[in-house]
Amino acid sequence: MPHVEIDLSKIYYNAKILKEQLNKKGISIMGITKVVLGDPKIAKVIRDAGITYIGDSRIRNIKRLYNAKLGAKLVLIRNPSLSEIKQVVKYADISLNSELEILKNLSKEAIKLNKKHGVIIMVEMGDLREGFMPENLDLVIKRTLELEGIVLLGLGTNLKCFAGVIPDQKNMKRFSQIAASLQHKFGIRFEFVSGGNSANYKWVKNADDLGLVNNLRLGTALIIGAESIEDSPIHDLKQDTISLIAEIVQISKKPKNPTGKFSTNAFGEPSIFKNKKYRGKGVRSQALLDIGRQDIEEKGLVPIDNIDIMGASSDYLICDIKDNEYKIGEKVKFNMSYEALLRAMTSPFVEKRYVK
């Protein structure tokens, strides 16, 4: 059975280093666990590194983290669904919001449960995903402050995830100005001015003036030691925190050219053999591994050994193993991109194993 090997000590190391680096710039961290399916063991090492806010985008994961009793504040980082309001107030300490109707329902449920639920209001800064338009924020803040059971904790924004807009000095300065204006108008002070995610790492490291931004929501940087603009490694952090191991189930010499007419593969994509680099004379040493697109994104796999990934079907990863003298049953190890890791951690057919 394919499995991921999770090195908890390396994730702890990344969390510790990032906390130390960003503390010097006045930035707190919410550790985001969505790429690892809200894994409580991973969340615990992040908490042990001194990060006291743990966030996830799925309420089911938030519930897992709640039941793990981590001693951390839990943050739902996706706009709550109306159908999940009861669970959100019960299990999450804080939620990120961009709909007044949702906020009103959170208020009603908080009153029922005699709880205070913290909210961070999301602001649209150009990436065109979640967030209130800036010109509507006066009304939004006024209405939020009027809601019983709701505690307005701050503002947040998100860039890079949809339109690909990069956090920079211009949009971050504007975000700070919006926060400053609202604080002045309503006589309040935001606990969180949350500037974004791992795509903000380079801006935070390089900027001389961070304005009012005092928080980032980090998942990619913590878990795989990379920033998320160019997916480049962050110096001083570990990238080999989680590896994928798959087993060889077939080894054979196969012709370099398919036999017969060919069109698209099972996913409607052009055959790889339309690319001349996959064709030629003779045969190649080819292996099938026991993992496929139902479990991973093969384009995000980086083999440790000198082999080439040709592609994947639903159930198999097809590799050119070159001159490697593998045997049936041998394991092949891969590093993973964010997307590949997300798929592998979500798949019930990929076992999760831990290294301390």
Instruction: Find the CATH number of the domain harbouring 342.
Output: 2.40.30
Residues 199 and 85 in one domain: yes
CATH number for the domain spanning 20: value is 3.20.20.10
Query: Above 90 in pLDDT, residue 280?
Result: no
Residues 249 and 219 in one domain: no
Residues 84 and 211 in one domain: yes
Q: What domain range is 269 assigned to?
A: 242-355
CA 75/CA 55 separation, integer angstroms: 4
Mean pLDDT value across residues 53-76: 98
Backbone angles phi, psi at 35, to 5 degrees: -70, -15
Token pair recorded at residue 331 = 């394991």
Mean pLDDT value across residues 95-112: 98
The answer to whether residue 236 sits within a structural domain is no
Token pair recorded at residue 211 = 């304005």
Q: What residues does 24 pair with on adjacent strands?
A: none
Other CB atoms within 10 A of residue 101 CB: 8
Residues 61 and 166 in one domain: yes
What is the tally of structural domains in the chain? 2
Cα–Cα distances in angstroms (integers) from residue 297 to residues 274, 288, 294, in the given order:
21, 16, 8
Residues 322 and 209 in one domain: no
CA 55/CA 58 separation, integer angstroms: 9
Question: What is the value of pTM for the model shown?
Answer: 0.95
Residues 12 and 152 in one domain: yes
pLDDT of residue 274: 82
Residues 200 and 297 in one domain: no
147-167: pLDDT as tens digits: 999 999 999 999 999 999 999
CB 25 within 8 A of CB 210: yes
Residues 249 and 339 in one domain: yes
The answer to whether residue 26 sits within a structural domain is yes
Mean pLDDT value across residues 94-100: 98
Residues 157 and 251 in one domain: no
DSSP string, 55-87: EES-HHHHHHHHHTT-SSEEEE-SPPPGGGHHH
Q: Which residue has the tokens 């803040």?
A: 141
7-54: pLDDT as tens digits: 999 999 999 999 999 999 999 999 999 999 999 999 999 999 999 999
Residues with a catalytic annotation lie at 34
Q: What angle do CA 29, 244, 240 make, to 5 degrees?
A: 45
CA 46/CA 32 separation, integer angstroms: 9
Residues 218 and 248 in one domain: no
The answer to whether residue 156 sits within a structural domain is yes
The answer to whether residue 233 sits within a structural domain is no
Token pair recorded at residue 120 = 């961070």
Burial (CB count within 10 angstroms: exposed 0-12, middle 13-18, buried 19+), residue 56? buried
Q: Which residue has the tokens 């903000």?
A: 200
The answer to whether residue 76 sits within a structural domain is yes
Residues 203 and 118 in one domain: yes
CB 3 within 8 A of CB 348: no
Query: Above 90 in pLDDT, residue 71?
Result: yes
Mean pLDDT value across residues 320-346: 97
Residues 255 and 167 in one domain: no
Query: Above 90 in pLDDT, residue 277?
Result: no
Non-local CB neighbours of 337 within 8 Å, separated by 6+ positions? 231, 297, 299, 300, 301, 302
Q: Which of 191, 224, 257 is the last residue of a domain?
A: 224
pLDDT of residue 356: 80
CB 121 within 8 A of CB 97: yes
